[in-house]
């Protein structure tokens, strides 16, 4: 191990600190810009929301159908308990898992498959940049999250300036929690619902009498075949037996 003079070691530590400070500032600025673009696609009012530390990821969590208070607790616990060797690692991993779940839901609403989470896992800043600046559009009309409606993961908060993520009429059926009709036999006594009134034929007007049904017609008799002749034909004429006289010389 090299033995640096006190002044050299201090300068080295100061250089590393300055480097990490510049790196953290650049990461924060880029991530805030990318979050701002995602918030604009989602219809969030106020660009300032993407620039407030911790609060911006609370909004991100809310857009991902997760309770924003859950990510606040996770980030706060990771900051407070991060210095403990084992507990700090567990809390930090839990906070990252929460953001990973939110990123999965946000990616679905921006027309991205679940495989895109691999990119978020390794390079979240690149994932944010792609979703923020590509041509995808925000779509809430997708199946609800498996945790929606119950449990501590579900979002029940209502914040002004952040549109509700439940589409009008509710979420469509989630194949993971609500299988398609026919996947399981119906319960005893189940009757299928009647078709809506819009599919029924219109009722006839008052006083309308349907015309009488036409009487069946008898089958047409084919014409009779012609009768054969009763008189046989006359025999042929007998040719003359005497030859004609030769002409005179």
Q: How many structural domains is the chain composed of?
A: 1
37 vs 207: which has the higher pLDDT: 37
DSSP symbol at 116: G
Percent of the chain with pLDDT over 70: 69
CB atoms within 10 A of CB 217: 6
CA distances from 245 to 242, 248 (A): 9, 9
The verdict on residue 23 lying in a domain is yes
Q: What percent of the chain stands above pLDDT 90?
A: 40
Sign of CA dihedral 104, 105, 109, 113: positive
In this prediction, residue 236 carries a pLDDT of 61
117 contacts 100 by C-beta, under 8 angstroms:
yes
Has residue 204 been placed in a domain? no
* Arithmetic mean of pLDDT, 200-212: 69
Domain boundaries, position 25 = 6-172
Query: Residue 87's pLDDT is what?
Result: 85
The answer as to whether 148 is a domain residue is: yes
What contacts 53, CB < 8 A, 6 or more positions away?
28
Contacts of 42 (CB under 8 A, 6+ apart): 63, 109, 138, 163
Asked whether residue 243 is assigned to any structural domain, the reply reads no
Residues 44/59, Cβ–Cβ less than 8 Å: yes
Q: Is residue 71 part of a domain?
A: yes
- Tens digit of pLDDT for each residue in 18-57? 888 899 999 999 999 999 999 999 999 999 999 999 999 9
Calculate the average pLDDT of the chain.
81
Considering the domain boundaries, does residue 168 fall inside one? yes
Average pLDDT of the segment spanning 60-76: 92
Is 211 contained in some domain?
A: no
Could you read off the pLDDT of 212-241 as tens digits, one per residue? 766 667 766 766 666 766 666 666 665 555
In a domain, residue 26? The reply is: yes
């Amino acid at each position: 191990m090299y033995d640096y003079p006190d002044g050299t070691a201090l300068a080295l530590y100061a250089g590393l600190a300055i480097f990490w400070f510049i790196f953290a500032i650049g990461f924060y600025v880029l991530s805030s810009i990318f979050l701002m673009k995602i918030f604009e696609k989602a219809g969030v009012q106020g660009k300032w929301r993407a620039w407030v530390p911790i609060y911006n990821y609370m909004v991100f969590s809310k857009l991902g159908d997760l309770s924003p208070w859950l990510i606040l607790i996770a980030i706060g616990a990771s900051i407070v308990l991060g210095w403990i060797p084992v507990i700090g690692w567990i809390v930090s991993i839990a906070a990252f898992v929460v953001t990973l779940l939110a990123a999965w839901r946000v990616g679905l609403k921006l027309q991205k498959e679940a495989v895109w989470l691999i990119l978020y896992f390794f390079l979240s800043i690149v994932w944010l940049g792609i979703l923020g600046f590509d041509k995808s559009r925000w779509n809430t009309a997708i199946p609800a999250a498996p945790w929606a409606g119950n449990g501590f993961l579900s979002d029940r908060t209502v914040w002004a300036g952040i549109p509700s993520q439940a589409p009008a009429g509710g979420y469509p059926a989630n194949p993971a929690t609500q299988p398609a009709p026919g996947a399981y036999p119906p319960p005893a006594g189940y009757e299928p619902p009647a078709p809506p009134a819009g599919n029924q034929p219109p009722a006839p007007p008052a006083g309308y009498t349907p015309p009488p049904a036409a009487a069946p017609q008898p089958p047409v008799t084919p014409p009779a075949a012609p009768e054969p002749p009763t008189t046989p034909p006359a025999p042929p004429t007998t040719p003359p037996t005497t030859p004609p006289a030769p002409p005179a010389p």
